[in-house]
């Protein structure tokens, strides 16, 4: 018998300092509470770089999907 476990509802709040989300139950931000100001700048740069690379990856998936669509059209005709 297949059973389904619902994903736990994760309450999060946004950190004022690093703009990341962290669990509501945590007293301090799990991302930046232990970081100094210079380390925080590095963290923000890393987050920005990761966001940029995931956008590029998303674009590649879009191109790939469009390409597959065209191939499917060509096969059907
Ligand atoms: Zn933070």
Question: Residue 58, exposed/middle/buried by CB under 10 A (0-12, 13-18, 19+)?
Answer: exposed
Res 58: pLDDT: 93
Report the separation in Å between the CA atom of 15 and the middle of ligand 1, taken as the mean of its atom positions. 5
The domain ranges of the chain are 12-76
Mean pLDDT by groups of 10 residues along the chain of 77 residues:
72 93 94 95 94 93 96 89
Report the separation in Å between the CA atom of 39 and the middle of ligand 1, taken as the mean of its atom positions. 11
Report the separation in Å between the CA atom of 24 and the middle of ligand 1, taken as the mean of its atom positions. 12
Res 2: pLDDT: 64
């Amino acid at each position: 018998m297949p059973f389904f476990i619902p994903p736990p509802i994760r309450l999060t709040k946004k950190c004022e300092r690093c703009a990341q989300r962290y669990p509501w139950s945590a007293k301090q931000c799990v991302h930046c509470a232990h970081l100094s100001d210079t380390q925080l700048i590095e963290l923000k740069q890393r987050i920005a770089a990761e966001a940029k690379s995931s956008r590029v990856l998303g674009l590649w998936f879009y191109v790939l999907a469009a390409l597959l669509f065209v191939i499917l059209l060509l096969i059907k005709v």
